Amino acid sequence: MNARQGERPMHAVVRAELHQSIREGRFRPGDQVPTEPQLMERFGVSRTTVRRALRDLETQGLIVRQPGRGSFVAQPQVEPRLDRLTGFVEDMEALGLHASASVELIETVPAPERAADALRCEPGESVVHIERVRLANETPLSFDDSYFVADLGQRVARENLRDEPFYSILEEKYGVALAGADYVVRATVADERVADHLQIAPGDPVLLMERTSCIRPDRAPVLFEYLHFAAARVSYRLSLDR
C-alpha cells in the first residue's frame, strides 16, 4: 500500500502508531515491538518503509534495535541537571534511581599527555588510572575513564569503589574540600571498547565529558576524567541566567 498524494507517507504512519503505543504505555521499556514482517503485513507496506519508521524511532531514542533479535522499547532518558558540581550517585538519587558501579580496571601508569596537562604534572609521571561502568537501575549509563594524582589515587584505589563514589570518598572520608570542576563537552561515537562497556553498538552516539575536579583553597587539580555517556540514555538539563 502506498500513500496517495496529499496523505502522510506510510513510514510516517507506521512511526506515528508505534510512537503512540509507546507513549500510552501499551509497549513498556524493554518490551519488543512488532517485528518487521508483522509490521509489513499489518500496514501493507514494504520492508524499506518499515525500516525507515524504525530508524526514525531509534534516532528519537524511543527504541533500541538489536541485530538478529528485533526492536525493543528504550529505557526513558535520564535528565540530570548540570548547574552545580555533583557526582553520578547524587544525580541518580535525585532522580529516584539506584546507582551502582562496576570496577573494570585499577592501575598505576605514566600520565598520558592530556591527563598530565589537566593535572599539571609531567607527561609520564605516575598517576592512578581507574575505569568504571556506572549504572542506574542496572542499566549502564556511563563509562568513566579516570586519572588521579598519584598520592591521592593510591588511597582511593584501596576503597570500595563498587559502592562508594569518588566525591564521597574525598569529602567524607578524607576531608578533601572540592572547589569545583572544569568541563569540556562534545559529541562523539562509541569505539568498540566504549560500546562494549555501555552495551551499545560501535558507532552509536556518545556524549563525552572531559572533567577536571579541583580542590580548595587554590583549585589544584586532583582528578581528570573522560566520562562517556550513552547518548540515547542520558541528556543534561541546565538553566542559564542572562
pLDDT digit string (tens) for the chain, length 242 residues: 444 434 788 999 999 999 888 878 888 878 899 999 999 999 999 999 999 999 888 877 788 888 888 999 877 677 777 788 888 988 888 877 889 999 999 999 999 999 999 999 999 999 999 999 999 888 889 999 999 999 999 999 999 999 999 999 999 999 999 999 999 999 999 999 999 999 888 999 999 999 999 999 999 999 999 999 998 888 888 887 88
Q: Is 157 exposed, middle or buried (0-12, 13-18, 19+ CB in 10 A)?
A: middle
C-alpha cell at 11: 513510514
Backbone angles phi, psi at 41, to 5 degrees: -70, -40
Domain regions of the chain by residue span: 10-73, 88-230
pTM for the complete prediction? 0.71
* CATH top-level class of 10-73: mainly alpha
Report the half-sphere exposure of 78 (CA within 13 A, side-chain side): 27
How many whole angstroms separate alpha carbon 210 and alpha carbon 222?
14
User: Cα angle vertex 127, ends 151, 170, to 5°?
Assistant: 50
Contact 7, 1 (CB under 8 A): no
Amino acid in the structure at residue 141: L
For the four alpha carbons of 155, 159, 163 and 164, in that order, the dihedral sign comes to negative
| Nearest alpha-carbon partner for 212 in 224, 199, 220 | 224
CATH 3.40.1410.10 fits 88-230, yes or no: yes
How many whole angstroms separate alpha carbon 96 and alpha carbon 91?
9
How many whole angstroms separate alpha carbon 162 and alpha carbon 132?
8
Give the pLDDT confidence of 181-191 residue by residue, as tens digits: 999 999 999 99
| Nearest alpha-carbon partner for 224 in 166, 176, 159 | 166
Report the half-sphere exposure of 158 (CA within 13 A, side-chain side): 7
Strand residues in 26-68 grouped as ranges (E): 63-66
Backbone angles phi, psi at 109, to 5 degrees: -140, 160
